[in-house]
């Protein structure tokens, strides 16, 4: 720093001798004088520190023993209770902690109390020397020159092209990590199979729900009929098809045009998968008719066809059209009329093809 303006109005007057640096800056007084510790001067203190270190190492031995006793003496057996496991875990932890802390604090105490504590100063060496640096630059230049890469652009450009393309197989080879998405996300199990409409059944046991079971104010967690019998891909199907079933006063529902017949007697079914990032919208506030997603607090208003009234979701929950079959059980009249769950790039075209 060549320049020493510091805003001080009176730095010119008082001290104006010696070198200019001394005027403007305090001199470094050097490393403070070393102060002896008690253990350096008093042999009894040193002896005491020695005994303390030995005691800490002794505590470590005790800790190791605690661990071994806890490991071998506590039998988990076949029907161990949570309390037994917790006891063993605590004792194993205490044992390890003593074993480790004994060694650690012992060594640190030893170092601090008994090993020399003189601060020493060491010169820093330059990371590189000027001679090396120039030689290195020269070597690199020579290497580049000898390859002739600058004089032969044809070689350079074809090499760049080849190197740029060469990693493509390394990317392509991951192509079998998964199947193509196609329109898998657009369909769920709710679509009627061979003309037979799927019943709404309870999650998780799969018993069908009668319309008369659904009283005003109640809510059901619903899965499609046949889900539990799937031999594979059960969770995949469940991840798309879970539904919340609720019954409100029919007067408080305000179905839009074309959706008047999607409910039955105030009973409505909505996808349980949040349109934000896919958490289950599991909380139903009976009084306000709001559905709340516990992950990111998106709030949907049941009386406005699950429109988003708060939080990060942007689309309403998809509604599942339902009716009642001959035996009085609730059934889905069709699949959802839009893909359920979080948005994705092709979602809009999927929705249009479902409804066309």
Q: Which of residues 49-108 bind another protein (CB under 8 A)?
A: 71, 74, 76-80, 82, 85, 88-94, 96-108
Q: Which of 35, 43, 44, 120 binds another protein (CB under 8 A)?
A: 120
Rounded (5°) CA angle 59-60-63: 90
Q: Which is nearer to another protein, 36 or 154 (CB)?
A: 36
Between residue 194 and residue 253, which ones bind another protein under the rule CB under 8 A? 203-204, 221, 223, 233, 235-236, 238-240, 242
Cα Rg of the chain, angstroms: 38
Q: Which is nearer to another protein, 16 or 163 (CB)?
A: 16
**Region for residue 130 given its phi and psi (left: phi exceeds 0; alpha: psi -120 to 50; beta: otherwise):** alpha
Smallest gap from Cβ 154 to another protein, in A, equals 35
- DSSP characters over 168-230: HHHHHGGGGGS---TTGGG--TTS-BTTBPPBEEETTT--B-BGGG--TT-EEEEEETTSTT-
Q: How many other C-beta atoms are found inside a 10 Å radius of the C-beta of residue 303?
A: 16
* Main-chain dihedrals φ then ψ at residue 211, nearest 5 degrees: -60, -30
CB 31 within 8 A of CB 119: yes
Q: Which of 197, 199, 247, 276 binds another protein (CB under 8 A)?
A: 276
Contact code string over 132-171 relative to another protein, x by CB under 8 A:
----------------------------------------
Q: Which is nearer to another protein, 214 or 243 (CB)?
A: 243
Binding segment for another protein among 142-150, 251-259, 327-335, 343-351 (CB under 8 A)? 343-351
Q: Which is nearer to another protein, 153 or 174 (CB)?
A: 174
């Amino acid at each position: 720093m060549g320049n020493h303006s510091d805003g001080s109005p009176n730095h010119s007057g008082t001290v104006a001798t010696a070198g200019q640096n001394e005027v403007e800056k305090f001199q470094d007084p050097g490393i403070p004088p070393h102060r002896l510790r008690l253990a350096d001067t008093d042999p009894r203190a040193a002896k005491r520190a020695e005994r303390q270190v030995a005691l800490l190492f002794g505590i470590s031995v005790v800790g190791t023993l605690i661990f071994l006793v806890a490991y071998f003496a506590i039998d988990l057996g076949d029907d161990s209770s949570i309390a037994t496991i917790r006891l063993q875990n605590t004792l194993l932890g205490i044992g390890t902690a003593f074993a480790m802390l004994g060694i650690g604090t012992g060594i640190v105490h030893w170092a601090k109390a008994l090993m020399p504590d003189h601060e020493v100063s060491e010169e820093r060496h330059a990371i590189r020397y000027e001679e090396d640096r120039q030689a290195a630059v020269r070597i690199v230049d020579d290497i580049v020159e000898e390859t002739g890469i600058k004089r032969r652009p044809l070689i350079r450009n074809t090499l760049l092209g080849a190197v740029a393309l060469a990693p493509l197989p390394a990317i392509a080879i991951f192509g079998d990590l998964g199947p193509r998405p196609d329109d898998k996300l657009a369909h769920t199990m709710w679509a009627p199979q061979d003309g037979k409409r799927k019943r709404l059944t309870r999650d998780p046991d799969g018993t069908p729900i009668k319309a008369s079971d659904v009283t005003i104010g109640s809510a059901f967690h619903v899965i499609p009929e046949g889900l539990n019998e799937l031999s594979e891909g059960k969770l995949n199907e469940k991840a798309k098809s879970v539904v919340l079933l609720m019954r409100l006063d029919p007067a408080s529902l305000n179905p839009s045009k074309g959706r008047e017949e999607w409910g039955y007697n105030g009973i409505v079914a909505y996808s349980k998968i949040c349109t934000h990032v896919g958490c289950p919208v599991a909380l139903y506030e009976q009084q306000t008719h709001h559905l709340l997603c516990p992950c990111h607090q998106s709030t949907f208003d049941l009386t406005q066809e699950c429109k988003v009234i708060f939080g990060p979701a942007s689309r309403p929950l998809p509604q599942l059209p339902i009716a009642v079959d001959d035996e009085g059980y609730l059934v889905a009249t069709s699949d959802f009329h839009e893909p359920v769950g979080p948005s994705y790039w092709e979602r809009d075209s999927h929705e249009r093809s479902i409804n066309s």
